[in-house]
Amino acid sequence: MSSTLSVRWTIAPAIAPRPFINCKRCGGAKPYRCSEKFRVNANGKRIDVWLIYRCVGCDNSWNFTILERRNRHDIEPAQLTALESNDPALARRFAFDAAALRNRAGRIEESSDVTVRKELLDGEPGRADALALELRLEGTAPLRLDRLLAGELGLSRSRLQALDDRRRVTMDGAKALRKPVRDGLAVRIDLAGEADCRAILSAACR
């Protein structure tokens, strides 16, 4: 009797992307890290908001434009309060918006370090012999699926490849083991007859 362990992994990048800015003090392009501090400038009714980044070499600052010459009345009061008080959750939301940052800065550096939150949806690790993973991606991370699976399941990438070669790994849509993880991807790994089946299934939800 085969049974499936269903687990949801929510993957979030651990380090905010860093823009490369031409640093006048260092003389050359340098990565700038997010300070998680906003600068809010009110000029009459007009409001500008930036998120401040600092050069990793010399601490020089660079402003990531969040709001530009916006009418005060068009901004939610709660949003303005959050900006003025450097709300960490709001700062993170802007800092992890890699597309917007790339738009402003040109070149950015994204870390592949992620945190993975695992939720058991159905089944028992001790009884199942197949794993059904549902992947959720919060933000963007340049993370290959095989690296994620190998790291989180405690497998070597060659072992994972061997399972894939034996058609034990299936996913919806095109084969994407070497491609970046995408939001909503469902992956199924059939582990029937594998000696370390239980260890792999335990790792999947721990």
Tell me which residues touch Zn ion (CB under 5 A).
Answer: 23, 25-26, 30, 55, 57-58, 60
Residue nearer to Zn ion on the CB measure, 32 or 96: 32
Q: Nearest approach, Cβ of 177 to Zn ion (angstroms)?
A: 40
Q: Which residues pair with 41 in a beta bridge?
A: 48
Residue nearer to Zn ion on the CB measure, 10 or 60: 60
Residue nearer to Zn ion on the CB measure, 60 or 161: 60
Residue nearer to Zn ion on the CB measure, 25 or 175: 25
Angle between helical axes of 88-95 and 77-84 (0-180°, round to 10): 90
Helices marked H in 96-177 — which ranges?
98-105, 145-153, 157-165
Q: Nearest approach, Cβ of 18 to Zn ion (angstroms)?
A: 13
Token representation of residue 55: 């050069």
Residue 82 host element (H or E): helix 77-84
Q: Nearest approach, Cβ of 57 to Zn ion (angstroms)?
A: 4
CB crowding 169-192: b at 16 or more within 10 Å, else e: bebeeeebbeebbeeebebebbbe
Residue nearer to Zn ion on the CB measure, 56 or 203: 56
DSSP 25: T
Q: Nearest approach, Cβ of 71 to Zn ion (angstroms)?
A: 35
User: Residue 148: which of 171, 124, 127 has the closest Cα?
Assistant: 171
End-to-end CA, the chain? 24
Q: Nearest approach, Cβ of 53 to Zn ion (angstroms)?
A: 11
CB crowding 63-84: b at 16 or more within 10 Å, else e: ebebbeeeeeeeeeeeebebbe
Q: Nearest approach, Cβ of 36 to Zn ion (angstroms)?
A: 19
